[in-house]
Amino acid sequence: MKMEYNEILVRYGEIFLKSEPVMQLFERRLIENIKSRIIKTGIDFSIYQKRGRIFIKTKKIAKVCKILKKVFGIVSFSPCLHLETSEKREILEFFKQNYNKIVGKDEKFAVEVKRVGKHNYSSQELAREIGSVIKRKVDLANPDKRIFVEVRENDTYIYFKKIKGLGGLPVGVSGKVISLISGGIDSPIASLLAMKRGCNVIFVHFHSFPLVSKKSIEKTKKLLQVLREYQDKIKLYLIPFANIQLTIKAMIPTKYRIIFYRRFMLRICEEIARKEGAKALITGESLAQVSSQTLDNIAVIEEVTQIPILRPLIGMDKLEIIKIAKKIGTYEISVQPQEDCCTLFTPKHPTAQARIEIVKEFERRIKIKKLMKDAIDKAEIQEI
């Protein structure tokens, strides 16, 4: 027979570096995020917080553990058994009655005790006495089973393993950002990393329908279904880009077009950021991965906006990005073929060293405000 857990003990980090009000915000947000994720599944549970730990009471321990693995801000968690006492006698009695469910006949064990609060015994003393009522072999250096006992004020929590969480900060504590998502491999991962640092991410996808099929839109939505497991509510702006592209095609030499596409994307996203109260844009750019992402081009492209642009992947190699994409399950979706709006009317080798004077000169030919307004007016907004 095995031990039945009745709670999950959740540990969170980083918080300890911060001031009291920031810490409270962090905790409150983390609890809200955990709650809303579990509520969605219909599982019965209750949640409480005590002295730097969060506890979840539920009968569906395994299912809730699966959810917790995708909540940013959690450092680790442990399915545990909560005894509503800190009396040594009662703790020892529990182990007397149950040790055979905890440690197998031929297994060796070790006990580690941690205490928070005042008790009439020391941690060492309790560990030694628990050890003596468990009629199995002790092996402190190399046990088959580690028994962790945390006595916290008037409660005791018993667990056997620590499951690693994602770390980071709870989604929402850093405020809103706008992420440019393309359907490719990089931008979903950039968005995930923004979530990891506490951003609430709103998505913008530019599509070239009806010049190309709706494939990129479908892919983007599938990608967002994966990311929805990390952020509760996801809002997506679908921006029609075909008109802007046709105008650029008519007015701008081929090797500069990509720069113009990007400048338009940023302008429009800055506008959406203002509307949404978002504080930064996120892109999936990684330095010099492709010719539009050289430092020269990045400078010329971002010259057009005031808002900060964050590039979480800037120092990552493609293989590192792919590794994360495979792990979270976006890779398979991203690699499906699509007609990319950026390759439409653009050459294989666009300029790698755009010059701002030239770009500005060309841009005078285009009715920027009108094109932007049309695109934003025709945006379709969806909840994923």
Interacting residues with ligand ATP (CB under 6 A): 180-182, 184-187, 204-206, 265, 283-285, 289-290, 292-293, 341-342
216 binds Mg ion (CB under 5 A): no
User: Does position 184 bind Mg ion by CB under 5 A?
Assistant: yes
Question: Does residue 182 bind Mg ion (CB under 5 A)?
Answer: yes
Which of ligand ATP, Mg ion, none sits in contact with 284, Cβ below 5 to 8 A by type?
ligand ATP
Q: Which stretch binds Mg ion (CB under 5 A): 7-15, 182-190, 274-282, 364-372?
A: 182-190
Specify the residue, 157 or 203, whose C-beta has the smaller distance to Mg ion: 203
Min separation Cβ 43 and Mg ion, Å? 38
Q: Buried b vs exposed e over 123-158: b needs ≥16 C-beta within 10 Å?
A: eeebbebbbeebebeeeeeebebebbbbbbeebbbb
Which option in ligand ATP, Mg ion, none does residue 205 bind, with CB closer than 5 to 8 A by kind? ligand ATP
Q: Which among Mg ion, ligand ATP, none contacts residue 73 (Cβ within 5 to 8 A by kind)?
A: none
CB 276 within 8 A of CB 201: no
- In angstroms, what is the minimal distance from the CB of 313 to ligand ATP? 8
Q: Minimum CB separation from ligand ATP for residue 250, in Å?
A: 20
Closest approach of Cβ 95 to ligand ATP, in Å? 54
- The CB-of-84 to ligand ATP minimum distance in angstroms stands at 51
* 78 φ/ψ angles, rounded to the nearest 5 degrees: -140, 125
